[in-house]
Amino acid sequence: MSSQFRTRIKICCISSSEEARLAIRLGADALGLVGRMPSGPGVVADELAAHIVRSTPPPIATFMLTSETITADIIAHQQRVGANTIQLVDAVSPATYVQIREALPAVKLVQVIHVIDERNIAEALQAVEEGADALLLDSGNPTLAVKELGGTGRIHNWAISRQIVEQSAVPVFLAGGLNVQNAREAIEQVQPFGLDICSGVRTNGQLDERKLEAFIAALS
């Protein structure tokens, strides 16, 4: 699904209410709250994520990133955090989409696809068939002994991502190694519905107002 609209902005790895307020003030459409992960720098405790969700005003979306793959564990995670969107950073079975949908009908499901090669195009389209409300194309590697499921700071093959955007019936977010220098090129090459950024707007792990401002200005 190619977008003819303003590119949406998801600021991920939000680690405090102050960061959430800053991201919203500067124009974020969505906040990402990273749950327990096998690796990566952006994890926050569920209690803190729940606190940030409660203090986030509409229409800002709250994405809860989960590495859980068992339906009951994903649902329990959502119930602890209360986010309106679940971002599945690892692959789940087709039945899982149906079961989450039944248990949490108002919650949106975003499937992450870690783009490594052309095989990920079929994987992405299958996730849409199975019920994903949106896709997020990232640069992790779930085949490693210690899985990498995001927050890598690396870009991937955008030509593959462009093909996924062209063939997807649902909105597609692009993630992985984005920053102020490559944001415009990413939009031109991939034409995503939205961009997702974590490390590119941080300094020493903290959300950096100047970097975020520059990144958002580069999109307009």
Ligand X SMILES: O=C(O)c1ccccc1NCC(=O)[C@H](O)[C@H](O)COP(=O)(O)O
Q: How many CB atoms lie within 10 A of CB 61?
A: 18
Q: Please identify which residue in the block is written with the tokens 């459409």.
A: 29
Span from 74-82, 102-110, 184-192, 198-206 in contact with ligand X (CB under 6 A)? 198-206
One of 171, 176, 192, 194 touching ligand X (CB under 6 A)? 176
Q: Which is nearer to ligand X, 162 or 202 (by Cβ)? A: 202
One of 53, 92, 175, 183 touching ligand X (CB under 6 A)? 175
One of 123, 131, 177, 189 touching ligand X (CB under 6 A)? 177
Kindly state whether residue 197 participates in binding ligand X, applying the rule CB under 6 A.
Answer: yes
Span from 72-80, 101-109, 157-165, 174-182 in contact with ligand X (CB under 6 A)? 174-182
Residue 183 · residue 215 · CB < 8 Å:
yes
Tokens describing residue 26:
């500067």
Distance CA 41, CA 39 (A): 7
Kindly state whether residue 65 participates in binding ligand X, applying the rule CB under 6 A.
Answer: yes
Q: Which is nearer to ligand X, 4 or 185 (by Cβ)? A: 185
Kindly state whether residue 152 participates in binding ligand X, applying the rule CB under 6 A.
Answer: yes
**Closest distance of CB 183 from ligand X, Å:** 11
Tokens describing residue 55:
């203090």
One of 33, 34, 115, 124 touching ligand X (CB under 6 A)? 34
Residue 219 · residue 213 · CB < 8 Å:
no
Residues 6+ apart with CB under 8 A from 47: none
Span from 35-43, 48-56, 159-167, 212-220 in contact with ligand X (CB under 6 A)? 35-43
| Cis preceding-peptide flag for 59 (omega within 30 of 0) | yes
Interface residues for ligand X in 89-148 (CB under 6 A)? 89, 138
Residues 6+ apart with CB under 8 A from 31: 10, 11, 12, 14, 20, 23, 24, 52, 56, 60, 61, 62, 63
One of 153, 157, 167, 214 touching ligand X (CB under 6 A)? 153
- What DSSP character marks residue 186? H
Kindly state whether residue 198 participates in binding ligand X, applying the rule CB under 6 A.
Answer: yes
**Closest distance of CB 102 from ligand X, Å:** 26
Q: Nearest to residue 189, comparing CAs of 174, 176, 199, 167?
A: 174
| Cis preceding-peptide flag for 142 (omega within 30 of 0) | no
Q: Which spans of this chain sit near ligand X (rule: CB under 6 A)?
A: 12-13, 32, 34, 37, 40-43, 65, 89, 138, 149-153, 175-178, 196-200
